[in-house]
């Protein structure tokens, strides 16, 4: 990666012998219709939901089984361009055969004039997407027309230079995909370890006893959540009203993954005032208890605000126990438990009374300390690889925009 970064940083692109071309001169819009995908020769279907903005290659798809509506056929090496909602900036190459949504262009490079795969990087440049969005038509869901996109002009290097640039760009993409693979491996390892830890099997503890959670290690305790908290468990503001700039931030379920204040709802201080009990601090765990159940996180240090009706505040001042309970809540054991204790028919929820009685598995302190150390180590690894991934993606984007 360092070698690629050094090359990219030193890259001084001379475009004096590059020629101006139109996209339509190098790409052909393929309209090979597949009337009934489930009866066709193809077993893979790529919908718009399978595109990931910024990804150079399509990695996801679904079976054509049961798919009756017409689609477009594509071949290995084609570029799929999502023409609907162009602001999402979705264009990727496929390395398999199949069919795709009619809301995507199937674009095929004219091999005599272009190095295979070179243009999929152009299709992820800011300049092209700015042009596409400027020329998108429609009101509710803007679409790009091929006749407009085909007229996009850019500078094309000679084929020899295309090959050199493509080699560098693909090498960078390979680095990015390896880092994504590392994140996936870490995620699987974390999930597996979490499930073993909270069942007691990780410690090979043969002596077991019955509890409200079933069989647990004999020297582990089970207590209701209410016995671990320092303030009464509660939900937050029932009707926060309209967004009030300069008001008090209200953490909703959608904010539990990342506490980004610019994505939060701000409530009028007069509306928030009666809800002093649900004001939050960095000693709280927040848990989604309505709609999407089980999402949880701790409050970042220094954050001051309140919560909505769909979220429960669980105040545990003991840092070790707070971290332990958070990891416990994220285990499949407790995610399944949340699912079992939910009520409702159209929109599920967990009542505060039920949450207060939730049985919490409590190992000896030395085991809790070890669990926290292991999970913190995994979290640190996640942070490092994600930071490295973001840097690689930023470098790739910078180089693509420098070239195109």
Question: How many Å separate Cα 291 from the centre of its chain?
Answer: 19
| Backbone CA torsion sign across 271, 274, 278, 279 | positive
| DSSP string over 56-76 | SB----EE-TT--S-EEEE-T
Can you tell me the mean pLDDT for 19-28? 94
262 pLDDT higher than 80: no
Give the residue with greater pLDDT, 210 vs 384: 384
Question: How many Å separate Cα 196 from the centre of its chain?
Answer: 25
- Measured CA to CA, the distance from residue 276 to residue 75 in angstroms comes to 60
- What pLDDT does 333 receive? 86
- As a whole-number percent, the residues of the chain with pLDDT over 90 amount to 66
| pTM (predicted TM-score) | 0.75
Task: In the chain, list all ranges with CATH 3.90.220.20.
Answer: 19-156, 221-362
Q: Helix crossing, 332-340 with 319-329: angle to 10°? A: 70
Can you tell me the mean pLDDT for 21-40? 92
Note whether 299 and 284 are within 8 A (CB). yes
19-156, superfamily in CATH?
Answer: DNA methylase specificity domains (3.90.220.20)
Segment 288-340, tens digit of pLDDT: 999 889 999 999 998 999 999 999 999 999 999 999 999 999 988 899 999 99
205 pLDDT higher than 70: no
Helix (H, G, I), strand (E, B) or coil at 401: helix
Distances (CA, A) of 45 to 34, 60, 72, 76, 357: 11, 9, 9, 13, 47
- What pLDDT does 350 receive? 94
Note whether 208 and 198 are within 8 A (CB). no
CATH 1.10.620.20 holds for 221-362: no
Segment 116-166, tens digit of pLDDT: 999 999 999 999 999 999 998 877 778 899 999 999 999 999 999 999 999
Note whether 237 and 250 are within 8 A (CB). yes
Hey, what's the torsion of the CAs at 12, 15, 18, 23, to 10 degrees? 80
Cα within 13 Å of Cα(123), Cβ side: 30
- What pLDDT does 279 receive? 94
53 pLDDT higher than 80: yes
């Amino acid at each position: 990666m360092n070698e690629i970064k050094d090359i990219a940083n030193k890259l001084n692109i001379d475009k004096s012998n590059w020629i101006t071309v139109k996209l339509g001169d190098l790409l052909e819009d393929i309209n090979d219709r597949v009337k009934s995908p489930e009866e066709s020769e193809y077993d893979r279907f790529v919908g718009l939901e399978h595109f990931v903005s910024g990804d150079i290659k399509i990695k996801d798809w679904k079976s054509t089984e049961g798919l009756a509506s017409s689609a477009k056929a594509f071949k290995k090496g084609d570029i799929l361009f999502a023409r609907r909602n162009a602001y999402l900036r979705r264009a990727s190459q496929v390395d398999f055969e199949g069919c795709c949504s009619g809301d995507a262009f199937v674009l095929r490079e004219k091999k005599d004039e272009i190095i295979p795969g070179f243009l999929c990087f152009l299709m992820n440049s800011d300049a092209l997407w700015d042009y596409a969005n400027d020329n998108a038509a429609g009101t509710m869901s803007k679409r790009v027309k091929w006749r407009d996109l085909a007229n996009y002009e850019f500078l094309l290097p000679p084929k020899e230079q295309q090959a050199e640039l493509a080699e560098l760009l693909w090498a960078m993409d390979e680095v990015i995909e390896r880092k994504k693979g590392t994140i996936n491996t870490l995620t699987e390892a974390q999930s597996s370890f979490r499930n073993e830890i909270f069942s007691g099997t990780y410690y090979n503890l043969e002596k077991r006893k019955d509890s409200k959670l079933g069989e647990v290690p004999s020297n582990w305790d089970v207590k209701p959540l209410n016995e671990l908290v320092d303030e009464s468990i509660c939900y937050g503001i029932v009707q926060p009203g309209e967004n009030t700039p300069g008001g008090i931030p209200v953490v909703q379920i959608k904010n539990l993954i990342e506490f980004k204040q610019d994505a939060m709802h701000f409530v009028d201080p007069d509306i928030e005032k009666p809800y002093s009990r649900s004001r939050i601090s960095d000693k709280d765990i927040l848990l989604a208890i309505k709609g999407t159940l089980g999402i949880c996180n701790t409050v970042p240090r220094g954050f001051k605000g309140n919560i909505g009706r769909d979220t429960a505040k669980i105040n545990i001042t003991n840092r070790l126990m707070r971290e332990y309970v958070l990891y416990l809540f994220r285990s499949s054991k407790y995610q399944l438990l949340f699912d079992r204790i939910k009520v409702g028919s159209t929109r599920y929820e967990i009542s505060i009374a039920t949450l207060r009685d939730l049985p919490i598995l409590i190992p000896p302190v030395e085991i809790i300390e070890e669990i926290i150390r292991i999970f913190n180590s995994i979290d640190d690894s996640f942070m490092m690889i994600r930071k490295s991934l973001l840097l690689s993606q930023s470098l790739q984007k910078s180089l693509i925009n420098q070239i195109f």
